[in-house]
Amino acid sequence: MKQNRIGQPMARVEDARLTSGQGTFIEDLNPLPNIHHAAILRSPYPHARIKAIRTEKAERMPGVKGVVTGEDIARMTVPFPVGVTAPVKYYSLAVEKVRFVGEPVAVVVAKNRYLAEDALEAIEVDYEPLPAVVDIEKALEQDAPLLHDEVGSNIANHRFFDYGDVDRAFAEADHVIKHKFRFPKYSATPVETYGVIAQYESSGNHLTIWSNFHGPFTLQSVMAAALQMPSNHLRIIIPKDVGGSYGIKSGVFPYMVLMGVVSKKLGLPVKWIEDRQEHLTASSSGTDRVTWIEAAVKLDGTVTGLKMKMADSVGGYIRAPEPACLYRTHSNSTGAYRIPNLHMETIAVMTNKSPTGLIRGYGGQQLYFPLERIMHMIAEQLGMDPADVIRRNLIQTEEFPYTTPSGGVYDSGDYTAAFEKALEMANYREFRERQAKAREEGKYLGIGLACIVEPSGSNMGYITIALTPEQRAKSLPKSGSAEGATVSIDPMGGIAVRISTTPTGQGHETVAAQIVGEVLGVDPQSVRVIAEMDTLTSPWSVASGSYSSRFASIGSSAVYKAAEKVRDKLLNIAAEQLKQPPAALDIENGKVIVRDDPQQQLSLKRLIGSAHWNPQGLPSGMEPGIHETAFYSMDNALPPDENDHVNGSATYGFVADAVTVEIDADTGEVKILDYFTVHDAGKLLNPLIVEGQIMGGLVHGLGGALYEELAYDSNGHFLTGSFMDYLCPTATEIPDVTIKHFETASPLTPLGAKGLGEGNTMSAPAVIANAVADALSPLGITIDSLPLTPSRIWSMMQDAHKSTKQSKEVPI
């Protein structure tokens, strides 16, 4: 039985249903009779005033039950709250103006989706087009087109941070190395699109919403506020099967509110399933970011100070939980390096693009692309090996727990050992020799390195760093990372676990079963885990949900604690019956035994039976039944202090990557020869799931590096509305990946585990860019934007060849 316990690669309990077509995804659900279907009319303009909407024709079409427009929304809801002071009015349907292509303008409800879509064509909207702005730097200019008149500029949030003595570090530096980097807007495009079913009951003012959301976290309160409903009148149910999210499905919440209003106005239960074009155009994405980075560097390559100005485009409306992308990595802004002095300027700017939100790696890829590129550029300018620059700056093992200048507390790690392992795996020295030979033959080989810290289990307090200490002081401090779980046992001994971590493919049911199986000494296969989330019946708190890789560090800890409570109860019952102290007892193989006299034992079935069938026989004062809930939060997740220090995450893992590439001289195509990645995520709970999470995260990072971009033209028109235009990596693009693990247990979590699965999403764009830059260094090409498509690289190579030719021709 031991083979399925914690740390073992137990096959997933989710698989049988999912491989046989018995999953229950949102589109499969028909929880009510009489469900009608919604279709959404969307803006063709990036920026325009809505002069009139005529819906009469559509309303008279066959099967149509009604139409909802911005006027209804403005009357029936208030703008969504968001954690900034800028007065941005964001509703679930456009009110008076549209601010991005694809913004919802009207909703038609009909007997089926086909009829609803027919009726969309009959709605007439008069638009007055306005100038649009999509470029971050242009949107920041004084005379830029203004998206929100009330705000007065396009800036939704703006802060400055100073840690240590930055001026001195730069004054005393031997070199100051600086560069500007652009990170693109991209998504993770879950194969299942958004879906919502909403039912409003006017009799009690109750709204029930089914959706493939992965909250509820803070967004349940955001939705209740927009709907102006008591929060317990807004019941959210999340099906146990969600077809991938990677953060993107947090952006379904405006549609949950929208369909709630539609159901209320039309008096019908309504179902809406987003199509792919809608998803690519208007759902959610990561932010695109411009970073101006400066490093103060000593002669030997030691980095003593960093300045970063980061401007994120949050799209047409700043939407919760943004501007969190700017702050998610605030505590680990200096990455894996001992850099004591840090200055940051953070700006969230609104542009005529789709709104942004959570995405796998959240903020990490935007941070590490400039940070890891600048480490390589330092090496280049100082004539050093990039591996030596990294070595010189890595935090050393004896420094843990290490406090970063911005307040992060890295719990554990052995960064140097992991980094050296990555170099060894890549045969770093040999590759350099191979590269030199290849260059002689006119071939472009390169190797890139990256070392990143992978934060997991976000502290709810980090988001409030968007506000100044004075603004924060006006409200209740925010902290913690609470998650709940319930373990219960029925009268016949059946064990059930209820989790609120809203898995979207990460195998939480399996790992929860492993944990409970281990704690209660039973076969994990016999433990039933209910992952369906219901805000009226599940144990949850404001942090509950699936994000920031929080299951391994926090969600699993809640399960563990709830199982321990059940174990303690069973041991106490057994102690009385066996006349032994509980500490003398062990629980295993479905029995409680006296450790020193294993002949003395009681079956769990009998002990469970006592709690249900014979409560009078329980130890005095003990409650009948077996149903225990535990909540778990990290003690180190404190609110930000008055100097803007915050420990934004529960645990911090580490990833060291080494990647080798060859660039095709004729086409500019990047071929990844080998991808080596060394991980330290503390104790691994299920190695099988770990490998899958790492590969998935890595390939998403690869997509961001090489293929994926939600592209707009300079007028704000959207260019990548299908999977023919928005390119996701497919099986033929996946390189050989070698994964190696170190397991430096976290001293902070009960199981020693840290989160994982996002690390390579953060590191891959940086490490691949470093490898490409290394390959192209003989041409003097600088890589400072992504994705590295063949056409971009080819153009850069052509320009480089031309300028070499010109400089040869022009006598100086």
Question: Which residue lies nearer to another protein by CB, 11 or 146?
Answer: 11
In the set 507, 517, 653, 682, which binds another protein (CB under 8 A)?
507
3-state secondary structure 402-417: EECCCCCEECCCCHHH
Smallest gap from residue 653 Cβ to another protein (A):
18
The span of 19-27, 128-136, 322-330, 623-631 binding another protein (CB under 8 A) equals 19-27
Q: How far is the CB of 623 from another protein (least distance, A)?
A: 38
Token pair listed for 218: 């803070």
CA dihedral 255, 261, 265, 271 (to 10 degrees): 40
Contact of 642 with 654, CB cutoff 8 Å: no
Q: State yes or no: cis peptide before 729, omega within 30 of 0.
A: no
Tell me if 779 contacts another protein by CB under 8 A: no
Residue 671 sits in the site that holds another protein (CB under 8 A): no
Residue 18 as a binder of another protein (CB under 8 A): the answer is yes
Scanning 86-94, 155-163, 349-357, 685-693 for contacts with another protein by CB under 8 A, the matching segment is 685-693
Cβ nearer to another protein, comparing 17 with 51: 17
Using the rule CB under 8 A, is 699 a contact of another protein? Answer: yes
Q: How far apart are CA 101 and CA 45, in angstroms?
A: 5
Q: Count Cβ atoms below 10 Å from residue 300 Cβ, excluding itself.
A: 11
Residue 708 one-letter amino acid: E
First to last CA, the chain: 79
CA pair distance 742, 532, nearest whole angstrom: 33
Residues 729-748 that bind another protein (CB under 8 A): 730-732, 734, 737
Residue pair 126/50 in contact (Cβ under 8 Å)? The answer is yes
Spatial distance between the Cα atoms of 80 and 261, rounded to a whole number of angstroms: 14
Contact 262, 15 (CB under 8 A): no
Please confirm whether the linkage preceding 401 is cis (ω < 30° from 0): yes
Q: Minimum Å distance from CB 23 to another protein?
A: 5
From the CB of 189, what's the least distance to another protein, in Å? Answer: 6
Interface with another protein, residue 11, by CB under 8 A:
yes
CB 86 within 8 A of CB 75: no
Contact flag: residue 620 with another protein (CB under 8 A): no
Of 2, 21, 202, 581, which one interacts with another protein (CB under 8 A)? 21
Read off the DSSP letter of residue 666: T
Residues 702-731 that bind another protein (CB under 8 A): 722-724, 728, 730-731
CB nearer to another protein: give 734 or 745. 734
Q: Min. distance of Cβ 330 from another protein in angstroms?
A: 28
Question: Which of residues 13 and 487 has its CB atom nearest to another protein in the complex?
Answer: 13
What is the 8-class DSSP label of residue 551? I
Q: What angle do CA 690, 406, 345 make, to 5 degrees?
A: 105
124-129/97-98 β-pairing: unpaired
- Nearer CB in complex with another protein: 576/733: 733
Number of residues that bind another protein (CB under 8 A): 54
- How is the chain split among helix, strand and coil, in percent rounded to 5? 35, 25, 40
Among 193, 352, 651, 660, binds another protein (CB under 8 A): 193
**Chain centre to alpha carbon of residue 221:** 20
Pick 294 or 454: Cβ nearer another protein: 454
Q: Which of residues 347-406 bind another protein (CB under 8 A)?
A: none
For residue 272, the minimal CB distance to another protein (Å) is 14
Judged by CB under 8 A, the residue of 66, 190, 254, 407 near another protein is: 190
Judge contact between 463 and 327, C-beta under 8 A.
yes
Q: Which is nearer to another protein, 22 or 381 (CB)?
A: 22
Q: Is 191 in the site for another protein (CB under 8 A)?
A: yes
Residue among 260, 257, 116, 241 at smallest CA distance from 190: 241
480 interacts with another protein by CB under 8 A: no
In the complex, the smallest distance separating the C-beta of residue 9 from another protein, rounded to whole angstroms, is 8
**Contact between 25 and 197 (Cβ < 8 Å):** no
Instruction: Report residue 583: phi and psi, to 5°.
Output: -65, -15
Using CB under 8 A, pick the residue from 72, 103, 192, 680 that binds another protein: 192
Residue 81 interacting with another protein (CB under 8 A): no
Whole-angstrom CA distances from 542 to 221, 500, 558, 631, 722 are 9, 11, 14, 12, 35
- Stretch near another protein under the rule CB under 8 A, chosen from 186-194, 197-205, 384-392, 800-808: 186-194
Rule CB under 8 A: is residue 243 a binding residue for another protein?
yes
CA distance 798 to 776: 12
Least CB distance from residue 240 to another protein, whole Å? 11
**Out of 695, 711, 779, 800, the residue judged to bind another protein by CB under 8 A:** 695
Report, in Å, the least distance between residue 276 CB and another protein. 4
The helix (H) or strand (E) run that includes residue 273 is strand 270-273
Residues 6+ apart with CB under 8 A from 55: 67, 69, 106, 123
**Binding piece for another protein, criterion CB under 8 A, among 20-28, 226-234, 323-331, 517-525:** 20-28
Taking the complex as a whole, the smallest distance from the CB of residue 11 to another protein amounts, in Å, to 5
3 or 20, CB closer to another protein? Answer: 20
Distances (CA, A) of 187 to 359, 361, 639: 7, 11, 30
Binding of another protein at residue 34 (CB under 8 A)? no
List the beta bridge partners of residue 452.
655
Q: Does 103 bind another protein (CB under 8 A)?
A: no
With contact defined as beta carbons under 8 Å apart, do 349 and 145 qualify? no
Contact 311, 136 (CB under 8 A): yes
| 412 near another protein, rule: CB under 8 A | no
- Residue 203 CA neighbour count, 13 Å, CB half: 1
Closest separation between CB of residue 696 and another protein, Å? Answer: 5
Give SS3 for 236.
Answer: strand
**One of 5, 6, 12, 497 touching another protein (CB under 8 A):** 12
Minimum gap (Å) between residue 661 Cβ and another protein: 18
**How far is CA 441 from each of CA 320, 438, 728, rounded to the nearest angstrom?**
53, 5, 33
Binding segment for another protein (CB under 8 A), chosen from 94-102, 183-191, 333-341, 659-667, is 183-191
Considering only 82, 132, 134, 188, the residue that binds another protein (CB under 8 A) is 188
* Residue 28 binds another protein (CB under 8 A): yes
Nearer to another protein, 738 or 798 (CB): 738
Query: What does the DSSP 8-state code read for residue 386?
Result: H
Alpha helices by DSSP H, 457-603 = 469-473, 508-520, 550, 556-578
Among 79, 692, 750, 790, contact with another protein (rule: CB under 8 A): 692
Rule CB under 8 A: say whether 241 interacts with another protein: yes
Binding pattern for the stretch 109-128 against another protein, x by CB under 8 A and - elsewhere: -----x--------------
Binder to another protein among 225, 638, 688, 745 (CB under 8 A)?
Answer: 688
Nearest residue (CB) to another protein, 526 versus 577 = 526
Query: Which residues pair with residue 126 across a beta bridge?
Result: 52
Contacting another protein (CB under 8 A), which of 201, 275, 523, 664?
A: 275
Window of 282-290, 319-327, 695-703, 794-802 that interacts with another protein by CB under 8 A: 695-703
Q: Is 696 in the site for another protein (CB under 8 A)?
A: yes
DSSP 3-state of 472: helix
Binding site for another protein (CB under 8 A): 11-12, 14-23, 25, 27-28, 62, 114, 188-193, 241-244, 246, 275-276, 504-507, 688-689, 691-693, 695-700, 722-724, 728, 730-732, 734, 737
